[in-house]
Amino acid sequence: MAKAKITSFFCQNCGFESAKWMGQCPACKEWNTFVEEPLAKSGSSGSMGSSSKRRGGTAKAPARLNEVSVKDEDRTSTDMKELDRVLGGGIVTGSLILVGGDPGIGKSTILLQVCRNLAADGKKVLYISGEESEKQIKLRADRIGEFSDNLLIMCETDLDEIDEAIRRTSPAVVVIDSIQTMSSEDVHSAPGSVSQVRESTNILLQIAKGLNITIFIIGHVTKEGMVAGPRVLEHMVDTVLYFEGDRHASYRVLRSVKNRFGSTDEIGVFEMCENGLREVENASSFMLDDRPENASGSIVVCAMEGTRPILLEVQALVSRSNFGFPRRQGMGVDFNRVNLLMAVLEKRAGIQLSDCDAYVNIAGGMKVSEPAIDLGISAAVVSSFRNRPSDDKMVVFGEVGLSGEVRSVSMADRRVQEAVRLGFTTCVVPKGCMSDIRSHDGIKVIPVSSVADVLNFI
């Protein structure tokens, strides 16, 4: 009699299961992502919707959509405006929130601050750590401030024990630090493996939805900046937040990449201080604080992060190359986008850049992928190439096409309003956006239709 198979192969990227090892995953098309993992026991208590439960339990009747009511009190404020903005207005009861980021970036710190604020408002909070001892948590808590008796801490990695503790204490919010340290006895593999991470998240999802409590889970990231474990982890949770920034710098950017209860790509800006993370409500002013005066290659652009306009400084350094192959580098922007814009400038504007090295940087460490900064990058490159500074009170935004045309962007009026608020007097915008921009006192709006028109202002 043939032995039952006790292992299977899983894709670390998407969670696809296969009976044998394959070089390329047929689901996500990634190479060399399959790992061998033990299969879960039959009848696992953590498997959502198991056959035993379906046969033995009472079937749940469907509900009419019109009969479902949503109240304002279903959202809970964290008393941190920047975090509430990223979450879409506050914590939604019964949601599962994943917070990822590099080591030392401040994931545990910000969630401990959230626990402090919620406990001070009278809500029972349970902080579960699988990485630190109670004394280590206490040392960090003393640095943050005073905590009320509503905050409970627990050092445990066994999900069965965690499940029992949650049901016994009935907290409103639970923090799991981190998901890679949690393990279930029903899965015979090491903590942090594909099977364990998937099963642990599944159990926590059941707890959050079944008991109607909010659960924050902290996830470590890989060298590519993605949450370690199967990609299906991000699909299972309700909200995915990423901490960005250099851990050696003082600023931190919290970005929402998935949110079932609000807009995505919202950001919150924080500053790391001795007593924890401090909110930076005026992000535009914060990003432009150290901007040099009368410097060539420096252009202010306006980018939209979700529904929030932020003014950023684009820096460019262009110099003649000493080698046969010019070097191009982008920090905070896509490297290929810089090459494309330089090719457009050479072809459509007649600026000889093929033998020049070029370095483009978004000051402050922000990462921007929005095409609205194309015009600002082009202007910064030309300014550095000519060694001619631009107007310090000028803001530029617009998408640049391959034909050299400047295309319209969304929320043009809000971008102009942000420029007016910070005291800028000139705004170069795409011509197609003029119908959406209202009249504003104190600022001159200049429409352009091609990238060659911008050269007149540099």
pLDDT of residue 30: 83
Q: What is the pLDDT of residues 326-359, one digit of tens each?
A: 999 999 999 899 999 999 999 999 999 989 999 9
Q: Is 399 exposed, middle or buried (0-12, 13-18, 19+ CB in 10 A)?
A: middle
**Between residues 100 and 12, the one the model is more confident about:** 100
CATH T-level fold of 75-280: Rossmann fold (3.40.50)
Q: Is the pLDDT of residue 93 over 80?
A: yes
Q: What is the pLDDT of residues 360-384, one digit of tens each?
A: 999 887 889 899 999 999 999 999 9
Which residues are CB-neighbours of 292 under 8 A, at least 6 positions away?
298
Domain ranges of the chain: 7-38, 75-280, 286-457
- Tell me if residue 373 falls in helix, strand or coil: helix
| pLDDT confidence tier of residue 392, bands split at 50, 70 and 90 | very high
Closest-CA residue to 110 (of 339, 268, 248):
268
75-280 shares its CATH topology with 286-457: no
Q: What is the pLDDT of residues 151-207, one digit of tens each?
A: 999 999 999 999 999 999 999 999 999 898 999 888 777 788 787 888 899 999 999
pLDDT of residue 215: 97
The tokens describing 273, both together, are 């201080």
Q: Cβ of 109: how many Cβ atoms within 10 Å?
A: 20
Give CA angle at 245 (114, 364), nearest 5°.
Answer: 120
Closest-CA residue to 173 (of 108, 238, 256, 117):
117
CB 386 within 8 A of CB 458: yes
Closest-CA residue to 39 (of 14, 17, 22, 54):
17
CB 34 within 8 A of CB 22: yes
Within 13 Å, how many C-alpha atoms sit on residue 272's CB side? Answer: 18
| Rounded CA separation 315/300 (Å) | 9
Would you mind telling me the total number of residues written for the chain in this entry?
458
| pLDDT confidence tier of residue 68, bands split at 50, 70 and 90 | confident
Q: What is the pLDDT of residues 272-290, one digit of tens each?
A: 888 889 998 888 888 898 8
Place of tokens 């899965």: 187
Which residues are CB-neighbours of 9 under 8 A, at least 6 positions away?
17, 18, 19, 20, 21, 22, 34, 35, 36, 37
| pLDDT confidence tier of residue 41, bands split at 50, 70 and 90 | low
Helix 335-348 and helix 374-386, axial crossing angle in degrees, nearest 10: 60
| pLDDT confidence tier of residue 230, bands split at 50, 70 and 90 | low
CATH T-level fold of 286-457: Ribosomal Protein S5; domain 2 (3.30.230)
Closest-CA residue to 184 (of 167, 163, 168, 165):
163
Average pLDDT over residues 431-437: 94
pLDDT of residue 136: 92
Across all residues in the chain, what is the average pLDDT? 87
Has this prediction a pTM greater than 0.95? Answer: no
| pLDDT confidence tier of residue 212, bands split at 50, 70 and 90 | very high
The tokens describing 183, both together, are 């393990």
Within 13 Å, how many C-alpha atoms sit on residue 168's CB side? Answer: 8
Average pLDDT over residues 404-414: 95
* Region for residue 126 given its phi and psi (left: phi exceeds 0; alpha: psi -120 to 50; beta: otherwise): beta
pLDDT of residue 5: 60
Which residues are CB-neighbours of 96 under 8 A, at least 6 positions away?
201, 204, 205, 208, 209, 214, 215, 217, 236, 237, 238, 239
Q: Is the pLDDT of residue 251 over 70?
A: yes
Q: Is the pLDDT of residue 55 over 50?
A: no
Helix boundaries (H) for 185-244: 194-211, 232-236
pLDDT of residue 189: 77
Q: What percent of the chain has pLDDT over 90?
A: 57
**Between residues 35 and 210, the one the model is more confident about:** 210
